[in-house]
Amino acid sequence: MKTIKIKGMSCQHCVMAVTKALSAIDGIRNVSVDLARAQATYDEAKPVDAAVIARAVKKAGYEVVG
């Protein structure tokens, strides 16, 4: 399981948007977004480039931190 920090989320709509964005990436499963901790956890069925994940989160309107 991997964890990423996400900046810019403020409500349940944000959680749903990030969950949808990450779930749409080929190879990512079991996405869980925690609004209070400003982070998302997920499993990789196959290796996924961090830049692909960052782009998907940015496209949804948020930012991967770190």
Long-range contacts of 15-20 (CB under 8 A, 24+ apart): 17/60, 17/61, 17/62, 18/57, 18/60, 18/62, 20/60
pLDDT band at 33 (very low <50, low <70, confident <90, very high): very high
| Domain architecture of the chain: domains with CATH | 2-65 (3.30.70.100)
Are the CB atoms for 32 and 41 separated by under 8 Å? yes
For residue 47, the model assigns a pLDDT of 95
pTM: 0.95
pLDDT band at 66 (very low <50, low <70, confident <90, very high): confident
Cβ neighbours of residue 17 closer than 8 Å, sequence gap 6 or more: 60, 61, 62
For residue 39, the model assigns a pLDDT of 98
